[in-house]
Structure 1
Amino acid sequence: MGQPLIDEAMRKAAVAWVEVADQPARLVWCVPVTGSLWLVTGPGEQQLPGLAGADRAVVTLRGSHGGRVVSWPAAVRRLDPAGERWAELAPQLAGKRLNASGDAASLVARWAAECEVYEFAPAEGPVAAAGSLPDTSLAEPPRESPARRAVRTPFRLHRVRRR
């Protein structure tokens, strides 16, 4: 059940949780092409710390019900902007990029200059699937982020009377 499950989950994937170098898994958008998942990192795109020096990662995909279906180890390879495959794959990724500023050609040019495109290919069978998925919640407290802010008491313009 291993490889067919990974292939089917990859075909339907739009997002994946990727764990690199024992850091907490991060949700990233991805595009399945030619039996691998592809993603873009860099300025103006998603960030995945530790990916630049990694050759392995653990990818977790969800099913149509929204829950985790499979986790598998992946071989990580960077796509070279000067290579032959760039001209084939980068436009496909740009076409799937939601809310991109500019057209696909300018997006591909920006990616070649500033960003990195990575391939996540299945390295071996799943580490967690159907019978071995945990029954408990894997929820964690929110990580510190510049997007979080302290909660303040609401501002009241007029005095509110209590009855």
Structure 2
Amino acid sequence: MTDAAPVASGALFERALIEEAAKKSALVWVRGPQGPARALWHVWHDGAVCLVGDGPGEQPLDGLGLADGASATVSVRSKDKGGRLVVFPARVTVLEPGTEAWTATAEELRGKRLNAPDFGAVLERWAARCRVLRLVPEGAALQRPGAMPDAATAAVPPPTPATTRRPAPAALPRLLLRRRR
């Protein structure tokens, strides 16, 4: 009995940590079976991280491989410090428009959608052109307070054609100081 109590207590703590962190954070980083992790806005609804995307004017979910039944890894930051707080595995469920689950989730997402150009018709647009996903936590947290990796986990920036500016001209500091006088 003494061995089972700490395990159950630890699982309950992790579940509560995941739920509270996801409720308070505006963004989560989702890594699907394909591609690098991507920051996505979400809502916590009915025990899962819920997302909408892949449509015009919405966040892109393509390239992550988030299909029905796929697994994903979700990283949630701390609202206070901004650092990674918990990382957990999740099972992806794609909700079908017109179902009770889709309607309830879409209503929750609509309430948190900032700057929607068509707030009144956003549900119809999502039903016609977007995907609504639920990422349900599955299994133990991969990282949590007290169980973080020692090595750095920073991602390599993706390749881009953008370049940095050239060095500032040598005379620029003198010109700037002259203006102050």
Among residues 38, 60, 81, which one is paired with 1:47 in the alignment? 60
Q: Which moved more, 1:114-123 or 1:132-141?
A: 132-141
Q: Quick check: 2:22–2:28 contact (8 Å CA) kept in 1?
A: no
CA displacement at 1:88 relative to structure 2: 2.0
Q: TM-score, normalised by structure 1?
A: 0.83
Q: TM-score, normalised by structure 2?
A: 0.75
Kindly report the root-mean-square deviation, in angstroms, between the aligned alpha carbons of the 2 structures: 2.5
> How many residue pairs end up in the alignment?
156
CA deviations on 1:51-77 (whole Å, 9 max, x unpaired) are 136521111101121000111111110
Q: Aligned letter for 2:23?
A: R
Q: Quick check: 1:78–1:118 contact (8 Å CA) kept in 2?
A: yes
Counterpart position of 1:37: 49
Seen in structure 2, the aligned counterparts of structure 1 residues 94 and 10 have a Cα distance that, compared at 3 Å, is: same
Of structures 1 and 2, the one with the larger relative CO (CA 8 A, separation 6+) is 1
Q: Give the percent of matched residue pairs that are identical in Structure 1 and Structure 2.
A: 39
Written as runs of structure 1 = structure 2, the 5 A alignment for 1:89-100 is 89-100=105-116
Among residues 138, 142, 150, which one is paired with 2:163 in the alignment? 150
Counterpart position of 1:80: 96
Q: Distance in 2 between matches of 1:67 and 1:152?
A: 30
Q: Quick check: 2:102–2:132 contact (8 Å CA) kept in 1?
A: no
Is 1:70 aligned to residue 83 of structure 2? no
Counterpart position of 2:72: 57
Is 1:101 aligned to residue 112 of structure 2? no
Seen in structure 2, the aligned counterparts of structure 1 residues 85 and 153 have a Cα distance that, compared at 3 Å, is: same
CA displacement at 1:131 relative to structure 2: 1.7
Counterpart position of 2:29: 17
CA deviations on 1:11-48 (whole Å, 9 max, x unpaired) are 21211011101532111111111221100121221122
In the alignment, structure 1 segments of 5+ residues that lack a partner are: 155-159
Seen in structure 2, the aligned counterparts of structure 1 residues 101 and 144 have a Cα distance that, compared at 3 Å, is: farther
The structure whose residues are more often helix, as a share, is 2
Among residues 139, 151, 159, which one is paired with 1:124 in the alignment? 139
Q: Quick check: 1:16–1:29 contact (8 Å CA) kept in 2?
A: yes
Q: Quick check: 1:21–1:54 contact (8 Å CA) kept in 2?
A: no
